[in-house]
Structure 1
């Protein structure tokens, strides 16, 4: 057992940084940490190997950094000053994706609610044969049910109170 040479230390650092980047990127949280990004920048020989870029999901520039030595060191040096903003930009983009997904989900549930209302109105029309006789009371009930459902969703009513109110409305 002899001393570790420069090449062995270099290989160990690369393996350690690669394993760190792999496990950190598998984190269930979609947000990234500036501290981890700077640690990876440091472990990849001051950004020359580009591990921090892989961590931020920038695979193309990560490969460019890896094969060109951080664009001959210039890109790695610039990353020292811009890495915090890169992490912030990544986290902002992830939050926007979550907001878009939630918005689309809400829009779909609103469309489903409208579809249910239309079915209820059509059903009351078919049952009575007269469009005006039963629609208004049903619309009033639907609106009241929507109101108490919103109160339930907002946490103002408990499930038990909601059921009582629903029974009272449906009579």
Structure 2
């Protein structure tokens, strides 16, 4: 059983707990491989916050494009961040948005290792 804290000490606490539950059944070599792939695919909450702030003043929806939500990004772009209300909500919830993206990516990476 590999400890994800040793492999990826920069994870947020909730994300670390979730990722640890995913890698419990992996061998140490598989856990190392998971960590190296996941590290390149995960997004940081600070980046999402920065893009949301930039989107608030310049181009709405950047954070949604960054998180792979193309439809929402286009909606934000054409509606001015849903008249700034959606952008303000994203400013408040940037950690949750990032966590949801990272959970999906962690599942994808683990499924890649199974094949």
TM range (shorter): 0.5 to 0.7
The Cα of 1:73 is off from its aligned counterpart by 1.2
Within 2, Cα distance between the matches of 1:49 and 1:38? 13
Within 2, Cα distance between the matches of 1:34 and 1:47? 20
Any gaps of 5 or more consecutive residues in structure 1? 1-27, 106-171
- Residue in 2 that maps onto 1:101: 112
Within 1, Cα distance between the matches of 2:54 and 2:87? 12
Which of these residues, 97, 103, 115, is aligned with residue 86 of structure 1?
97
- Residue in 1 that maps onto 2:47: 36
- Whether contact under 8 Å (1:48, 1:73) holds in the other structure is no
- Whether contact under 8 Å (2:76, 2:82) holds in the other structure is yes
Within 5 A, what are the aligned runs for 1:16-95? 29-45=40-56, 49-95=60-106
- Whether contact under 8 Å (1:48, 1:76) holds in the other structure is no
Aligned length: 77
The Cα of 1:47 is off from its aligned counterpart by 8.3
Any gaps of 5 or more consecutive residues in structure 2? 1-38
The Cα of 1:46 is off from its aligned counterpart by 5.2
Task: Detail structure 1 runs of 4+ shifted over 2 Å in the superposition.
Answer: 45-48
Within 1, Cα distance between the matches of 2:58 and 2:100? 19
- Residue in 1 that maps onto 2:5: none
TM-score (norm 2): 0.61
Greater radius of gyration (CA): 1
Within 1, Cα distance between the matches of 2:110 and 2:45? 22
